[in-house]
Copies of this chain bind each other. A is one copy, B any other.
Amino acid sequence: MSEEQQAQPQPAPGKKKKKVKVRRPKAEAPRGFRDSFAAEVLARREMLGKITEVYHRYGFDPLETSAIEYVESLGKFLPDVDRPMGGIFGWQDDDEQWVALRYDLTAPLARVAAQYRNDLPNPYRRYAVGPVWRNEKPGPGRFREFYQCDADTVGSPSVAADAEICAMLSDALEAAGVARGDYLVRVNNRKVLNGVLERIKLLDPADPEGDAVQLETRMTVLRAIDKLDKFGTEGVRLLLGAGRKDESGDFTKGAGLSDEQIAIVIGFMEAERAGAAATCAELKGLTQGSMVGAEGVAELEQIGEMLEAQGYGADRIKIDPSVVRGLGYYTGPVYEAELTFEILDEKGRPRQFGSVSGGGRYDDLVKRFTGQAVPATGASIGVDRLLAALKMRGQIREDAAQGPVVILALDREQMPRYQRYCAELRNAGIRAEVYLGGAGNMAKQVKYADKRQSPIAVIEGELEREQGIVQLKDLILGAKLAQEIESNEEWKAQPAQISVKAEDLVAETRKMLARHGLQG
C-alpha cells in the first residue's frame, strides 16, 4: 500500500481520489518507553540467564503468562491510585470485558495458581521473566515498561519458604555480578508491624480492618516508615506527627500520632541490633501484648536461625525492622535487597544506590479467586535497575557485542564469490557478513566495519583475485595503532593487514581472532 492510501479515507469505488499532502508520523517511541540496542540486550540477556540459572537450581520452574489479563484478575494493588485506571494500561475488549497489561508478575501468578490448582504440584514453585507495564508519569530514568524477574512458592505456609527466597536473592545477586558487601538483603515482618500498630491502638485484633480513619492512619504510618531512607528519622517523626514541609514548601499531612505513639514507632524502626537474635529480642519488647506481633517475631527468629545454619551472615542478609515494602498485599515476612555502594545523584551528591529487589509473603492473593487462603511468598528482581547499577560500577562491557567479520564488497560483480567466502566463515562458526550497503568505496566499507565493532575486514580486489589471495585487515589492532601513532603517514602503512591464500581464509581468520582472545 502506498502512504497516500494510508493517510486518507478510501475514496468511493470509481471516483478518482484526490491527492493530499501526507502528514508523516514522528519516528519516536511513546513517552516513557525506550529501545535497547545490542550491547544492552546482550547484557540483560546474560544477567537474566545467570539469575534464572540460580532460580532453576533452587527448584523453580519457568512460567510464561500473556501480557494481557482481565482487569478484575489484576486487582488493585498498585500504590499510585490517583492515575487513570489505577496505574495500569487497560481497554475494553470487543466482548465488552475490560483487559489490561500486567503491572507485575505476581498478579498473573495468583490467577494461574487459582486456575490450575488441581493440576499443579503443591507447592507450586515458579519463576517468571518479562516486561511489565505501569501507567505512571514518565520522567528521567522512569520508564513505563520494565523487566522483572520473579520467583515464588505458592502453597507453602512454612517460613522455610521465606528464608529460602532471602538466600536465593543473595545467591542471584552474586551470580549477576554484585560483589558480596555491595548488597544487603533486609528482612522484616508485616506481623511485627501490625503488633506495633496494635500497641499504639491503631489496630484492633478483634476487628483487624477497623474503621476508615484507622485504615487511613495505618497506611500513613506505613508510608512514613517507608520514607526512612529518604528523609531520615526526623523526617519520619514529622510524617508520623503533624506533617512535613519539603524543601519546595510542599506540605505532606502527617499521621497525627501522639508523642508516645511516635516514640514507639521510631523505637521499632530503630530496633535493629547486632545479629538476628538480638534484634528479635528487642522486637519482642516492642510488640509486647500483641499476639500477632509475637507470632511475627517468632517467624523472624526462625528465618534468622535457618539462614544462619546455611551460613548466610549479616554481611548478606539481616533483619531490619525499617523495611515496609509498598504493595498492600503482604501478610507476613517482607524482603528487600539493596545495593549498598554509593553513586552520585543528579546533583552530584553521593547516595546509596538503593533497592533492586523486593518481595514478601502474600497469603490472600489467590484467595481473591478461590475463597480459600493459599499461602504464598516470593520476590522480584528489578532487572533494569540492577543492570543500571552494574553499568555504573563498570561491570558491563559496552563492547560485549563483538561485531562480525566483514567481507568488503569492492566489486559488485563478484558478489557470489564474496558470499561463498562468507558462507565458509559462517560454516566454521565464525560470525561474518558481506558488506551489503549501496555502492561504497573501500574507506566507506571499512568505516562501516569499524562502526559494527568488527574485528576483521576481508579484502579482495581485482589484484588479489588474480593472485588467489585475500587481505585480512585486523581492525582491533588497527584501532590500537591508530591511537598510538601520531602520523597519518605511518597509519597508512597499514601494519595491521596481512595477505593470506584465499583457501586459508578460515584458518587465518581464526588465528587473527585468537590473537585478540576471540573465538571463531
Contacts and interface: CB of A to CB of B under 8 A. Distances in A.
Interface string A125-155: 1000001010100000000110000000101
Contact of A38 (B58, B61, B309): B61
B135 A94 contact: yes
B369 A24 contact: yes
Interface in A47-85: 56-59, 61-70, 72-73, 75-77, 83-84
A157 B440 CA distance: 12
A11 interface: yes
Interface stretch (A107-115, A193-201, A240-248, A472-480): A107-115
A29 B72 contact: no
Contacts of A17: 211-212
B451 A111 contact: no
B145 A33 contact: no
A145 B66 contact: yes
A123 interface: yes
Contacts of A370: 24, 27
Interface residues of A, number: 131
17 contacts: A2-B364, A25-B75, A30-B97, A37-B62, A37-B63, A41-B63, A41-B64, A61-B403, A67-B67, A89-B91, A123-B437, A306-B415, A306-B419, A309-B417, A310-B419, A310-B420, A311-B423
Interface of A: 1-6, 10-17, 24-31, 33-38, 40-42, 45, 56-59, 61-70, 72-73, 75-77, 83-84, 89-91, 93-95, 97, 99, 101, 111-112, 114-116, 121-123, 125, 131, 133, 135, 144-145, 153, 155-158, 160-161, 163-164, 167, 171, 209, 211-213, 215-216, 305-306, 309-311, 328-329, 364, 367-371, 375, 401, 403-404, 406, 409, 415-417, 419-420, 423, 426, 429-434, 436-438, 448, 451-452
